[in-house]
């Protein structure tokens, strides 16, 4: 199994660009109309959902940036890749699960690759160097060749492979730019190169490939006519009431008010801007699954598509952004899958990316960790679902199965007890009659036995 992520590849990026290789993959396998990532729609959290099948509030990698609210320290996306405790907080990625069940796993540049989990690391791994050029097509081919070598020479069973585009050009130039169009053509060429490499390595009959992304991209509104969201400009709001904040990071943010000032900060911000959404974490919409983890700060902010959240002054210049509500179509990624496990020339409806994990576990034949996904959401893509679909059972599925087993057992016990009681009553009622005919029955039995026994 090969899991490939092209960061920021929106679901409709193949509609305004000729993509013959992605089109060929769809004919040879499965294409989803789109998939829905978890909220918060940024890189590390959504990729860790692919690897664990957990919503972000359940796996705990809640942001691209490691932070400490006591020291107010923050670390960049790249530095956070090496912050082990940020990743290793109770959830196991599929790499470790597969290795514990006798398979070999590898990962190249995928978020979370550098960390260890309960003392274990990915068997075969490569972490991108500092200031890596994610847009270099020559390096992309080298990475594909490296992964094919892992499969063919090192006998690896599962690999995750990450490409940092078209996210970069989407941020810098916008999702509707010529630069994004050109990068999508580069992605398509790389998909073609990858599939030819699979053929050359003799893996076509064995290797299943899933290609998807972490999130989409939305155009940012700039200009004099745009009413920017700048917290310091909101009447009554002061950063002196806040002990720690994560803002100036696209359209999402979190605040830790000082003791006793939660309601003051919340009430000042709520309704202060027509495109700013403000929630206490415990009041977050349940559909977002972004409230229950201790790392999530007491106040959660997000903006409508096109708007960003600034702290003191507007400092963000990106023409494209993500991190918006995952219901918005601009946040939806694409999905392709091909290989012997998948049906051919099949287009399916949308589903959540949390369901990709149980699908991969099923194909690999491994027992999943506790997860929020469901194999039922994707099993219609499979050429054969097989008899054993335990690899796709979620926590809810397992609980329902267990409950059904208990109910069935108790029902059987009740039936046996009732049957025994009825039998005893009938036996007692017939006691006198049985006594009077017992001698004759014994004689008849002995006679019948003699007639049917030979030596």
Which pairing describes strands 105-108 and 158-163: parallel, antiparallel, or unpaired?
parallel
- Compute the chain's Rg from CA coordinates: 29
* Residue 356 near residue 39, CB atoms below 8 Å: no
In 156-265, DSSP assigns E strands to: 158-163, 209-212, 218-219, 229-230, 242-249, 252-257
- Which two structure tokens, joined as six digits, stand for 170? 């989407």
Looking at 19, 36, 41, 43, which residue is catalytic?
43
* Residue 361 near residue 51, CB atoms below 8 Å: no
Whether 41 is catalytic is: no
* Residue 105 near residue 122, CB atoms below 8 Å: yes
Which pairing describes strands 218-219 and 320-321: parallel, antiparallel, or unpaired?
antiparallel
Which pairing describes strands 158-163 and 2-6: parallel, antiparallel, or unpaired?
parallel
DSSP label at 333? B
Distance CA 396, CA 176 (A): 41
Neighbour order of strands in the sheet with 276-280:
242-249, 252-257, 299-303, 276-280
Known catalytic residues are: 43
């Amino acid at each position: 199994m090969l899991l490939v992520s092209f960061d920021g590849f929106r679901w409709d990026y193949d509609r305004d660009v000729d993509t013959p290789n992605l089109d060929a993959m769809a004919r040879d396998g499965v294409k989803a109309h789109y998939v829905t990532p978890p909220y918060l729609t940024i890189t590390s959290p959504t990729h860790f959902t692919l690897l664990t099948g957990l919503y972000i509030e359940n796996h705990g990698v809640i942001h691209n940036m490691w932070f400490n609210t006591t020291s107010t320290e923050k670390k960049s996306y790249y530095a956070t890749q090496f912050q082990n405790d940020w990743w290793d907080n109770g959830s196991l990625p599929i790499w470790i699960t597969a290795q514990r069940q006798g398979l070999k796993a590898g990962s190249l540049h995928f978020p979370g690759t550098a960390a260890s989990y309960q003392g274990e690391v990915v068997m075969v791994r490569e972490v991108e160097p500092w200031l890596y050029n994610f847009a270099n097509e020559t390096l992309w081919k080298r990475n594909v060749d490296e992964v094919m070598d892992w499969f063919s020479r090192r006998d690896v069973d599962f690999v995750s492979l990450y490409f940092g585009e078209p996210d970069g050009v989407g941020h810098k130039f916008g999702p509707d730019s010529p630069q994004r169009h050109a990068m999508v053509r580069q992605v398509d060429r790389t998909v073609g190169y990858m599939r030819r490499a699979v053929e050359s390595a003799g893996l076509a009959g064995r290797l299943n490939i899933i290609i998807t992304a972490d999130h989409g991209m939305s155009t940012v509104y700039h200009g004099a006519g745009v009413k920017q969201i700048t917290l310091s400009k909101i009447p009554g709001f002061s950063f002196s009431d806040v002990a720690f904040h994560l803002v100036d990071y696209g359209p999402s943010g979190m605040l830790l008010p000082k003791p006793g000032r939660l309601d003051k900060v919340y009430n000042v911000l709520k309704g202060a801007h027509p495109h700013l959404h403000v929630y206490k974490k415990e009041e977050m919409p349940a559909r977002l699954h972004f409230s229950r983890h201790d790392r999530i700060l007491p106040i959660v902010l997000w903006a409508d598509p096109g708007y960003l959240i600034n702290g003191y002054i507007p400092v963000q210049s990106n023409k494209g952004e993500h991190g918006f509500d995952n219901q918005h179509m601009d946040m939806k990624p694409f999905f392709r899958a091909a290989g012997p496990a998948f049906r051919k020339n099949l287009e399916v409806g949308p589903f959540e990316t949390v369901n990709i994990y149980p699908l991969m576990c099923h194909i690999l034949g491994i027992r999943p960790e506790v997860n929020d996904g469901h194999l039922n959401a994707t099993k219609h893509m499979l050429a054969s679902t097989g008899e054993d679909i335990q690899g796709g059972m979620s926590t809810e599925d397992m609980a329902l199965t267990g409950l059904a087993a208990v109910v069935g057992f108790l029902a059987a016990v009740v039936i046996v007890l009732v049957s025994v009681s009825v039998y005893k009553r009938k036996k007692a009622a017939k006691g006198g009659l049985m006594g009077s005919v017992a001698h004759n029955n014994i004689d008849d039995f002995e006679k019948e036995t003699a007639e049917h026994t030979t030596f």
